[in-house]
Amino acid sequence: MNSIKCILIEDELPAMDELKFILEKYNEIEIVGTAENSNDGIDIIKCLKPEAVFLDINIPTCNGINLAKKIKDVNSKIAVIFVTAYDKYAVDAFEIMALDYILKPFDDKRIDKTVQRLKKYIDISRENNISVESRISELIKELKNAKVVNIINKIPCENNGKIILVDAEDIYFCYIESEKTYIKLYDKIYVTSNNLSEIEEKTGFFRAHRSYVVNINKILEIYSWFNGTYKLVMKDPEKSEIPVSRGNVKKLKEIINI
């Protein structure tokens, strides 16, 4: 593929140099400019028309989230990739259609995942000549499904048109109903685009049944049911009961040493 023109907006020169060093290892990535503040960043984008921008959250004269919105006003198709030392802005980044969100300190493997995602996005965008807006649902789904935010113990869920990140330790169990995946907290239920296998892999939860994964730490009681199966009673107010299929009983016993 033709090289992807990128710019870096970062006020910390050591961080910029490190990121630039990692990205320059990729033949597909062409860093055409850098900026240390928001005003210069906007000017460079207008002049050089890059396809992607690596943007720090905390930069002089403008918050990175607000700057990203201004960048989208200049070029709605540009891929915005946030780089920051703080994970608290991840939800805001998702909401403004960021392609990715990388936490400092940088990790080569983590950057590689970002580059592969960027290449895929640019390939499809170039082939179909489509805008970010028409692809946002697919990209957000990829972000939610992938272990790419460096907050692997958080599950993205939908809530009133927004994405919230739920701590795995707050989840009691997850289940499938009417082809949707639900996350059960103590007194709340959310929908997530992650499937149960993805949640199991991210969190290490116990796969009790093909329709349930369970946080072992939230189990109140276990009792035998019928035909070699078990039921789990959870610690939520409803004392929800989760079936354990016969094929998963052995694994349950190994986990809890019974």
**With 0-12 CB in 10 A as exposed, 13-18 as middle and 19+ as buried, what is 223?**
exposed
Poorest-pLDDT segment among 20-34, 128-142, 171-185, 239-253: 128-142
Quick one: three-class SS letters along 23-66?
Answer: HCCCCCEEEEEEECCHHHHHHHHHHHCCCEEEEECEECCEEHHH
Which pLDDT score is estimated for 2?
85
190-197: list long-range contacts, CB under 8 Å, 24+ apart.
190/157, 190/158, 190/159, 190/164, 190/166, 191/157, 191/158, 192/144, 192/155, 192/156, 192/157, 192/158, 193/141, 193/144, 193/145, 193/156, 193/158, 194/144, 194/145, 194/155, 194/156
Using 50, 70 and 90 to split pLDDT, how confident is the model at 136?
low
Using 50, 70 and 90 to split pLDDT, how confident is the model at 207?
very high
User: Could you tell me which residues come within 8 angstroms of residue 24 by beta carbon, excluding any fewer than 6 positions away?
Assistant: 31
Residue 93: pLDDT over 90: no
Stretch 104-115: mean pLDDT, rounded? 90
236-240: list long-range contacts, CB under 8 Å, 24+ apart.
236/172, 236/184, 236/185, 236/186, 236/187, 237/186, 237/187, 240/172, 240/173, 240/184
Which pLDDT score is estimated for 107?
87
Residue 174: pLDDT over 90: yes
User: Could you tell me which residues come within 8 angstroms of residue 169 by beta carbon, excluding any fewer than 6 positions away?
Assistant: 153, 215, 217
**Domains of the chain, each with CATH number or no CATH:** 4-145 (3.40.50.2300), 154-256 (2.40.50.1020)
pLDDT, greater one: 16 or 136: 16
* pTM (global) more than 0.75: no
